[in-house]
Amino acid sequence: MTSPPLRVGIISAAWGAKAHLPAWRSLDGIEVTAICTSRPETAAKAAKDFKVARAFHDFRAMATDPEIDIVDCGTRPPLRFAMVMAALSAGKHVYNGIPFAKDLADARAMHAAWRSAGTVAVVDAFMQAVPAMVQMKAMIEAGWLGEVFGADIAFEVPLFSAGQTNVPGYVWFADPANGASAGRNLGSHMLHLLVHFFGRVAAVTADQSLALKEWPLDGETILPEVPDRASLLLRHASGLPTRLEANWCKIGGDGFRFSVWGAKGRIEARAPVFPMAHDTRLFGTRDAALGSGAMEMIAIEPAYLAVPGCHAVADRPETGLLALASIFATMRDAIGGSGAAAPDFRQALHVQEVVEAAVLASDERRWVDLR
């Protein structure tokens, strides 16, 4: 007997509908049945535009609706907190964005609510599900590098510059009340990847600062109050050292790079901006002589370009389509009793702890140990 589909309600007609909706719809066993915005008229329009059956303008009503199984929480961290808590309180499965929370207190409260609810809850750290990254981790675990000695990860892009704001929908990044900064936003995504590859972080030191003091936007001037660059040195519980660089105002920035090296060579994932299935490439070199260590492209194997029960196509350019669908698939399968969903709220809380420790380390100019 075939189980009925899991019913998803999405909060957000922006990122949630444009990026998450296609990924949910690419999965067998999933039906997106509802969408929620803050006003009746925008909710009705979103439901019509995106061909969703039901419209909500109160996330609490969506959270308590018995005909919804999974609540996908969009919007910025301070708004998402109440959404996540309402959904978990109602016994729903939850998908939460990145950054996980505006501060550590909210992060701990959501983690505790998830543990109490006993439901499936994951976060939007889908870098770890990008096919190139999945293959990269498998190659490392199979010994391609031999003993691993360290890793560098960087995300450096001109989201904002003195000449233009390239992402006008993200000017909320300027306000510390939103729990934003280069380290919290870009950094959280990269920290999830580092923790996924190498395990928990034991200690961190950091330097974070604000370089670009004004962002132009439609004749106005945005005055950011948060660091736009963050440099972190990390020591994982295993003893492995890693380094992270986040910068959202770097003109000519190289985009995303994740490099791991060991006794036998080096392997690196690269993407022009945010790593996605269609544009993230792998490169590597093995035991090269001095001056001859050119990185050569490594093909992504077909096995990493497909997800069971998913019809998303890896080379389509929609934002995060296959990687998002892969994370959603772990939710679907875990709810059905198969496997574990990831990255879950346990990993999200740890990343938030590292983010907050990095702020303290930068302010006090010292290493900070994590419990």
Q: What is the pLDDT of residues 30-71, one digit of tens each?
A: 999 999 999 999 999 999 999 999 999 999 999 999 999 999
For tokens 């690419």, name the residue.
Answer: 26
pLDDT of residue 296: 93
- Cα(21)–Cα(13) distance, integer angstroms: 10
DSSP states along 264-314: SEEEEEEESSS--TTT-EEEEEESPPTT----EEEPPPGGGG--TTB---T
Contact 165/215 with Cβ under 8 angstroms? yes
Rounded percentage of the chain residues whose pLDDT exceeds 70 = 98
pLDDT of residue 15: 78
Banded pLDDT at 292 (limits 50, 70, 90): low
Q: Across the strands, what pairs with 164?
A: none
Banded pLDDT at 16 (limits 50, 70, 90): confident
Asked if pLDDT for residue 293 goes beyond 80, the answer is no
Banded pLDDT at 248 (limits 50, 70, 90): very high
Pairing of strands 6-11, 70-73: parallel
Contact 326/306 with Cβ under 8 angstroms? no
Asked if pLDDT for residue 313 goes beyond 90, the answer is no
pLDDT of residue 123: 97
pLDDT of residue 6: 98
Asked if pLDDT for residue 322 goes beyond 60, the answer is yes
- Cα(155)–Cα(178) distance, integer angstroms: 21
Summarize pLDDT for 88-121 with one digit per residue, the tens: 999 999 999 999 999 999 999 999 999 999 999 9
Asked if pLDDT for residue 318 goes beyond 80, the answer is no
SS3 state at 169: helix
Judged by average pLDDT, the poorest of 16-20, 124-128, 146-150 is 16-20
Asked if pLDDT for residue 250 goes beyond 60, the answer is yes
Amino acid, single-letter form, for residue 42 = T
pLDDT of residue 319: 64
Rounded percentage of the chain residues whose pLDDT exceeds 90 = 90
Token pair for 56: 């909500």
pLDDT of residue 35: 97
Tell me which residue of 82, 66, 71, 78 sits closest to 35, measured CA to CA.
71
Contact 208/229 with Cβ under 8 angstroms? yes
Summarize pLDDT for 159-191 with one digit per residue, the tens: 999 999 999 989 999 999 999 999 999 999 999
Token pair for 243: 């380094």
Q: Which domains does the chain have, with CATH numbers?
A: 6-119 (3.40.50.720), 128-301+352-364 (3.30.360.10)
pLDDT of residue 290: 67
pTM comes to 0.96
Asked if pLDDT for residue 1 goes beyond 60, the answer is no
**Count of H-run helices and E-run strands, the chain:** 10, 17
Asked if pLDDT for residue 24 goes beyond 80, the answer is yes
Token pair for 92: 């729903």
Report the run of H or E that residue 230 belongs to, with start and end: strand 229-236
Tell me which residue of 126, 115, 124 sits closest to 88, measured CA to CA.
115
Q: What is the mean pLDDT of the chain?
A: 95
Banded pLDDT at 291 (limits 50, 70, 90): low
Contacts of 66 (CB under 8 A, 6+ apart): none
pLDDT of residue 14: 81
- Cα(118)–Cα(114) distance, integer angstroms: 6
SS3 state at 1: coil
Token pair for 148: 């691993």
